[in-house]
Amino acid sequence: MDTEYKFSTQVEWKGGKIGELQSDGFPKVNVATPVEFPNGVPNVWSPEHLFVAAAEVCLMTTFTGIAEASKVDLVSYKSSAEGKVERIDGKFRFTEIIISPEIVVAREKDVERAERLINKAKELCLVSNSLTADVRIDYKITLAAN
């Protein structure tokens, strides 16, 4: 039997270029046009930021889930991500997202395992698999200092 999931959100326009994003049981988030576009609003989440964040968060949750199941002793995980938007055939689109995780593990044997698992997480990430943009990872894995 196939599994199907549905995720819902609602947005309400608040005026100008600002809206309020919500989903049942979640905190409301202000959203707006990014400053890179006409009349963009500074310091407010944009669809473009949320798009890049979705790929970044998906990689983290996929990796940490796989690492836990594989008994990798994970000390920390943090990342940054950057998405590139280009005008192609007269339309803006994301062409690339680079996610840069910094992973720290507790045991030396987990360094190589974490490398295999971050690559596996990229292959399994639901969001990345749903995008036409090229998603690349530029990871750094280190052993925790004693």
Q: Which residues pair with 21 in a beta bridge?
A: 11, 29
pLDDT score at 124: 97
Range 38-57 average pLDDT? 97
Residues 31 and 66 in one domain: no
Residues 77 and 15 in one domain: no
Relative to beta strand 74-88, strand 134-137 is: unpaired
Residues 135 and 96 in one domain: yes
**CB neighbours (10 Å) of residue 78?**
10
pLDDT digits (tens, 9 = 90+) for 3-45: 999 999 999 999 999 999 999 999 999 999 999 999 999 999 9
Counting the structural domains of the chain, the total is 2
Residues 112 and 137 in one domain: yes
Range 116-125 average pLDDT? 97
Residues 1 and 13 in one domain: yes
Residue numbers of the domain that contains 19: 1-45
> Quick check: 99 and 125 in contact, CB under 8 A?
no
pLDDT score at 2: 76
Asked whether the whole model's pTM tops 0.75, one would answer yes
- Kindly give, in sequence order, each residue whose CB lies less than 8 Å from that of residue 105, ignoring residues fewer than 6 positions away: 72, 73, 74, 75, 111, 113, 114, 141, 142, 143, 144
